[in-house]
Structure 1
Amino acid sequence: MEPIGKIDKKSKVRKTRKPNKVSKKRNNKYRSTIAFFEKNNKWPSPTAKDPKELPLGQWIVRIRYLRNHFPERLPEKIIELVDRIDADKLQKSTEQWENNYYKLKDFVKNEKRWPLPGSPNPEENKLYNWCTTQKSVRNGILQGRLSDERIQMLDAIGFQWNKNRKKRSWNESFNMVKKYYLHNGRWPSHATDSEETRLAKWCSKMRAYKNGTDKTGKLTSLQIKKLTDLGFEWELTVTSNGRTEEQLNRIWFGRYTEFCDFITTYKRYPSTTSEEERALYSWWMRMAHLRRKGKLNNDRILLLNSIGFKWGRGNNE
């Protein structure tokens, strides 16, 4: 029998081993996230303007991906944290939707009409934008899902879906972008105005068609010439779309979050077969294109690698 007090070398190593850098960093993020919630009564957002909140929000996105795909890599407390955040997020989303629904119902009952854009009443503008979002989600323009129960609730108050929004021809869109550019001195950007956002998306698609990051369409030489003659900037820059670097970062992380949510939900990557997936597919291809050209910064490459990002449609890249 060994003398009392003698410690096995292997046991001693296990007991005195210090947490590795990954565990230490994760624990710091965990504590910071809890502290942020206790102070602000909300969870950090991956698209926040606050430089202290932003990295915590991005960390939650990465941890959620691991929680859904590789839970064995995470300690129980981290899994519980993600589950709590998601439960709170779902509850808050449900409450917000119901609140907007009943506001809309009261508005229609009192005003005998539907909300209109450009109203001097900010509450009416909010309701109009909310109605637009419901239509976009159901029609596959925005990512998400509108449950049958919610569709029935909206149908019950005579909600106008306007499913058959007229699809513009290339020349119609070009002329509208030309008019916007000549009037404002800049290209349309993603904004609260739905029409400007629609034009901005068209411009982005034209760039993607030309540089080959979107294979769903192709520009003719005449179309390229018309845009070039107008002074169209084919390379997306801060000055060409009227957005600051901070705004571009928020947009990027917003798309990154959508992409993570998509592959987590559907257990696959987006394709071009579905209208609602094409935007995410184009973003996926664009990230791969920018990396090949050396135009994607290392922080974003590391962030994408952390979710097992495929740098191409196959597994060989």
Structure 2
Amino acid sequence: MKSGSRKNDGAYKLTDERIAKLEEIGFQWKVLATFEERLAELQRFKNKHGHCNVPKRYEENKSLGYWCSTIRMMKSGSKPNDGVHKLTDDRITKLKEMGFRWKATATFEDHLADLHRFKNEHGHCNVPKEYKENKSLGIWCQNIRQIKSGGRKNNGAYKLTDERITKLEEMGFRWIVRKRGSIKTFEDRLVDLHRFKNEHGHCNVPFHHEKNKSLGYWCCRIRQVKSGSRKNDGVYKLTDERIAKLEEMGFQFP
């Protein structure tokens, strides 16, 4: 009605007095989100994802992704710096303090932080290539593995230095990912056992554990190895260090 798209009559009729009353209480005729509202949305995104790199086509809030793209173009000069999104020194400072990047490419440290969150949630660093929650993380993991193997140039944002390799390995990152159907390592089983304990409060995995049948089989076999009824070799080989890790977790041998 105020915009002229509807007749100004009846119960909705707007007089100058009514318009004045509405504007006095802060009523907005255009419902475009303000800079402050977008900033709040960006903060919520960061709280959830740990960074401010909102995808342009962010499904949960498409307008936020578009806004981030718009203000980057303003900052670079490829779009006029005006309107509700206008970037002032104060607004630029607020964005920088939040960790907003004017170039959207994630750094090594950004990906490392994402990988750390993935590990905290899943108990390992084997991010699937098609990881739906963070597709760029899966691609990054694949790329750095290719760099390490020599199948990709070691440069750019993915460049692997000795320091970066150390950080990844300390986190438990594997350069060769076990293919489905191949034999799990002792460390893989230890991770599975740790998850079982977190869920059930103990390490007494049933032999026929429905959720992970091979874990129950493995627990049975290493008990046999420890008792001497099975050879201490292969993937079941028990060293003093491995026995200590199991006992620290609360695993009980016969």
- The normalised TM-score by structure 2 is 0.31
Greater share of helix: 1
Relative contact order: is structure 1 or structure 2 higher (C-alpha 8 Å, sep ≥ 6)?
A: 1
- The normalised TM-score by structure 1 is 0.26
